[in-house]
Structure formats: structure tokens, C-alpha cells
Amino acid sequence: IAGITQAPTSQILAAGRRMTLRCTQDMRHNAMYWYRQDLGLGLRLIHYSNTAGTTGKGEVPDGYSVSRANTDDFPLTLASAVPSQTSVYFCASSDSTDTQYFGPGTRLTVL
């Protein structure tokens, strides 16, 4: 089934640990995004990538990094997790009509 997959589904992480959230799409979309969703705040953009080999910072990039080695994969890394990074993380891609397609999300708890 075409779409976006994310892994893991959920994770509990000790503060200070490094964590990579995985995102893979099979729709051959050029643009990909990482959002975090927090209660009452909606979705906020962390990082984006317009095409393979390029990335950019979104609204809340601090503490996160991304890479885009190929079209399909867009991993998000927390170098040293902090409790304020407890959130639900969504990966998305967009097509030429600007419609965004979202993955099922990763629920991350940092203790």
C-alpha cells in the first residue's frame, strides 16, 4: 500500500539518550516534513526537505537534526533527548498540488 511508514510506533526514552525516528515514503514525492503535535498547539514544523540532498529548518528545529540521502527516507534525530521533546511526531510528504500525506506518527516519551 502506497504511503508513509514511521518507526517506531512509540518509544520511552531516558533523557540524554540519542534517538532516531524513521520515515519512509513510496510515493516518490520530492518534499518531506517532520512535525510535532502537542495538545493545544496543533502541528509545528521541525524540519523540511524540498528534495533529496537538501534540508531546511522549520518553526521548532532546536534539538533535532535531519538528513535526506535519497528520495524515500527522511530520518529525524534527537541528539540528546530532553523531557520537552515528549510529543507525537508526524512525518509527511507533499505532492505537486501541495497536498500533504501523513504517516501514522511516533509517540515519544522522554523521562
For another protein, the closer of residues 18 and 27 by Cβ is 27
* Shortest reach from residue 69's CB to another protein, in Å: 19
Cell of 62: 532546536
# binding residues, another protein (CB under 8 A)? 24
| Residue window 46-85: x/- pattern of binding to another protein, with contact defined by CB under 8 A | --x-x-----x-----------------------------
